[in-house]
Amino acid sequence: MLGAFPKTRPRRLRQAPFIRELVRETRVSPGNLVQPLFVAEGALAGPIAAMPGCTRLTLEALALEARRLVELGIPAIALFPVIPQALKSDRGEEALNPDGLVPRAIAVVKAAAPTLGVIVDIALDPYTTHGHDGLLDANGAVDNDATVEVLRKQALAYARAGADVVAPSDMMDGRIGEIRRVLERDGLHDVLILSYAAKYASAFYGPFRDAVGSSANLGKSGKQTYQMDPANTDEALREVALDLAEGADMVMVKPGMPYLDIIRRVKTEFGVPVAAYQVSGEYSMMKAAAAQGMLDERAVLMEALTCLHRGGADIIFTYYAAQAAEWLREQTR
């Protein structure tokens, strides 16, 4: 099909903006992006040192931000609560409080911006004194089945509070099936499940754990007994297959850019909606390099988002979502 040089000169298709525009295969738009937002009350609200430009929003600020995101064309947010130490416990009971921060934040967003999709994280780490996503057994190991029982209640509580999408990020076995079962039983047929199906035990989550205040609690202990080994790829496909069979509507690969091969394999093998999470470490690396004048922030971000989309991510979680939407808007003017 390809003729030899000079009949075929690939550079002809790159010679000027008009032709590059016409043959471009991938375009990221604000419609692909999800904005993660941290919410906090009282003294916990404010800027996040490890993530320059990100803030723990009060509920009042959350309402304003929700409206701004709708104007920018961002379809959905992902809520992450910052819970005061006094409300944390070893069993994370605050996660089930129907008047807790997440249910109230959902109500605030739905009142301020009814069309904005609300995705909530299902996991216990914001609520536990030990910083793990689940409950510990007598030996200090994360107890899978006991955790699933709590996660199922947490998902139901947040779905009842009006969340459009529940996103279990805990990596327990069997939790998608249990969550789907109780949602159906409760008549919540339309609540979507976005499973963090291939979530790796990654050092790139460092700044996030500072943002939600779980890193001190977690201490030296890691999440390797439930999150995946970064060295594995076939295992990601098995995780995705299980979560889809159990009732997930969409699956996530996390982190983003270092895991493009996983994103591509999942997209090619399953053909379902795939989300990629450009995580806190990816964000902070770009911010830090830009602040030092080492990288062009806008160009690097747009390239990273394009690559995630090209790699197979329909949906991209990025702390840069609002900023990217603004830049994309300028570009098309």
156 near 169, Cβ under 8 Å? no
Annotated active-site residue 88? The verdict is no
Question: Binding to ligand PBG by residue 164, rule CB under 6 A?
Answer: no
CB-neighbour burial class of residue 7 (10 A; exposed 0-12, middle 13-18, buried 19+): exposed
Region near ligand PBG per CB under 6 A, out of 179-187, 205-213, 265-273, 294-302: 205-213
For 195-255, the three-class secondary structure string (H helix, E strand, C coil) is EEEEEECCHHHHHHHHHCCCHHHHCCCCCCCCCECCCCCHHHHHHHHHHHHHCCCEEEEEC
Q: Enumerate residues 90-129 that contact ligand PBG by CB under 6 A.
A: 121, 123, 125
Catalytic residue chosen out of the listed positions 199, 223, 267, 287: 199
Least distance from ligand PBG to the Cβ atom of residue 131, Å = 8
Question: Binding to ligand PBG by residue 243, rule CB under 6 A?
Answer: no
Least distance from ligand PBG to the Cβ atom of residue 133, Å = 5
Q: Of the two residues 65 and 121, which places its CB atom closer to ligand PBG in the complex?
A: 121
Please list, in sequence order, all residues whose beta carbon lies within 8 angstroms of the beta carbon of residue 282, skipping any fewer than 6 positions away: 204, 255, 256, 257, 304
Please list, in sequence order, all residues whose beta carbon lies within 8 angstroms of the beta carbon of residue 275, skipping any fewer than 6 positions away: 34, 194, 250, 251, 252, 253, 313, 314, 315, 316, 317
Among 35, 147, 195, 280, binds ligand PBG (CB under 6 A): 280
Which residues are bridge partners to 117 per DSSP? Answer: 76
- The full length of the chain comes to 333
Annotated active-site residue 7? The verdict is no
129 near 84, Cβ under 8 Å? no
Map residue 35 onto helix, strand or coil: strand
Question: Binding to ligand PBG by residue 205, rule CB under 6 A?
Answer: yes
Catalytic residue chosen out of the listed positions 88, 254, 267, 287: 254
Least distance from ligand PBG to the Cβ atom of residue 245, Å = 22
Q: Of the two residues 144 and 280, which places its CB atom closer to ligand PBG in the complex?
A: 280
Region near ligand PBG per CB under 6 A, out of 156-164, 174-182, 202-210, 265-273: 202-210
Among 68, 91, 110, 209, binds ligand PBG (CB under 6 A): 209
Residues labelled catalytic: 199, 254
Residues that bind ligand PBG (CB under 6 A): 121, 123, 125, 133, 169-170, 205, 208-209, 223, 279-280
